[in-house]
Amino acid sequence: MTDYAAIIPIVIVALSGTAAMLAEAFRQPGERMPIAGLGLIGLAGAALASVFLWDSDARSFGVIRSDNFALFINLILCVIGVLTMLFSNEVVEREQLPAGEYYALTLYGICGMMMMAAADDLLIIFLALEVLSLSVYVLTGLRRASEASAEAAFKYFLLGSFSSAFFLYGVAFAFAISGSTRLDQIGVALSAQGAGTPPTLALLAVGLLAVGFAFKVSAVPFHMWTPDAYEGAPTIVTAFMSTGVKAAAFAAFVRVFLSPLEPLQAQWVPILSAVAGVTMILGTVVGVAQTNIKRMLAYSSIAHAGYLLIGLISNSPTNGAGKAAVLFYLLTYAVTNLGALGIVALLGTLQNQHDELRDFAGLWKSRPVLAGLMTVFLLSLGGLPPTAGFIAKWYIFTAAVQEGHYWLAIIGVLTSVVSVFFYLRIVVMMYMTEGTETPRPRVPATAMAGLALATAAVFYLGVLPTRILDLALASIATIF
């Protein structure tokens, strides 16, 4: 393999983003141009390149590593990107979003996400974090005429800047310990200190890095931006950032905390355990009180971050279930949440996003197929069989029990039961409440194809999960 092999998937997506930007520049006013197709070609190429690179463990420039872990995340991000593109074409035109900017920023954001998962150096992780963050900040405020969108983008940017500063200070303290920002050298330096009390600099590095990651994954108490950003952003952007950013951030979280910072596990596991417990409780309890579906799914996203933290915590050299469960959960959450928010986006118009609970009243009469698909996605988010959400939570909680984190497993099960209430509220509204005769936008064939793919994935991962779990287990073993 050449020195450039590891960056091939990232470069392919970057080139497709550039092509989308150039296509917008050459498009005549009012001309319809399938810019989303350029993104689909780039994402398909990146997925194919990731498959060909499997088991190669290629490295580029000494700081980008395409091990199986990074490639598995690449495939998840390609799935997220493809579904986003399939849902976007009609929505972008209907909501009068600048198409070239939207597609280019989405693809550049995916580049940052892929780089974040593959980075073997804290500074590269930081740069990748900024690339994806800047893309998502602009996407959040892309509806320039909307005050809510501008406010959401400003809040996200302001709080994101603080989290970036915390993360960068953590990088500085890690460098002070080891003299390097390379993950392997940091791990060697920490292991060489033995089993005594860790130095203060090491604890500060762990704490500050955890704050930076916790913000990106929407963990309590760094979740404040999430409801406002999700509600104010265009719904299709909400779908993208709720899944893509979480996948990339957890990928880097796992790579940093389960490899170089593993010697300090006794220090960070109790803290992250408390964060996971509070995150699950707050996300579920506050989500029950929401009437806006995007805010409801924002608090759902917070709760799911708590479940993913359980998988991060429940790891040991003899327990591969916790490690593999994180990757499996990221995939199931991605297809499920994208499907649910994709339906919300497809039902919205320029005048009304139709994201309130009452807007779904009687949906089964006007759009019976969409109502049925929405029910599937909601039941999967709630963790009911035979959907992917049930299997994902089963493996997360099983890993927690195997590692002795019984109280986290109990909190996880109880909050999952409570969360079913606010998911079923939408189902009850669709099937058992009379709605007004509200005109519903047409759903294009490409979007229906995306919903069909997401639904098939939900049932496949729920009924036949073994193959994907084996791939996840094999991939995460490569980072140790």
Strands of 44-86, DSSP E? 58-60, 64-66
Residue 122 half-sphere exposure toward CB, CA atoms < 13 A:
34
What does DSSP assign to residue 356?
B
Helices and strands counted in the chain (H then E)? 19, 2
- 49: Cβ–Cβ under 8 A, 6 or more apart, which residues? 8, 9, 12
Q: Quote the longest CA-to-CA distance of the chain.
A: 69
Type of residue at 46:
A
Q: Look at residue 197 in the predicted model and tell me its pLDDT.
A: 60
Q: Look at residue 262 in the predicted model and tell me its pLDDT.
A: 82
**Whether this model's pTM surpasses 0.75:** yes
Write the DSSP assignment of 106-166 as a string of letters: HHHHHHHHHHHHHB-BHHHHHHHHHHHHHHHHHHHT--TT-HHHHHHHHHHHHHHHHHHHH
pLDDT along the chain (480 residues), means of 10: 81 94 80 83 95 89 89 95 92 84 94 93 93 93 85 90 91 91 88 71 91 92 89 91 93 89 87 95 92 91 94 72 84 94 86 80 86 94 91 92 91 93 89 74 87 95 90 76
Q: Look at residue 36 in the predicted model and tell me its pLDDT.
A: 87
- The answer to whether 211 and 163 have CB atoms below 8 angstroms apart is yes
- The answer to whether 301 and 283 have CB atoms below 8 angstroms apart is yes
Can you read off the two tokens belonging to residue 207? 């704490």
Write the DSSP assignment of 408-451 as a string of letters: HHHHHHHHHHHHHHHHHHHHHHHHHS-----------HHHHHHH
Q: Look at residue 354 in the predicted model and tell me its pLDDT.
A: 77
Q: Name the helix (H) or strand (E) containing 325.
A: helix 320-347
Distance CA 9, CA 44 (A): 10
The domain locations on the chain are: 5-479
Q: Look at residue 318 in the predicted model and tell me its pLDDT.
A: 54
- The answer to whether 416 and 379 have CB atoms below 8 angstroms apart is no
Q: Look at residue 321 in the predicted model and tell me its pLDDT.
A: 65
Distance CA 404, CA 235 (A): 40
Q: Look at residue 188 in the predicted model and tell me its pLDDT.
A: 87
Q: What is the CA angle 263-125-315, rounded to 5?
A: 35
Q: Under DSSP, is residue 316 helix (H, G, I), strand (E, B) or coil?
A: strand
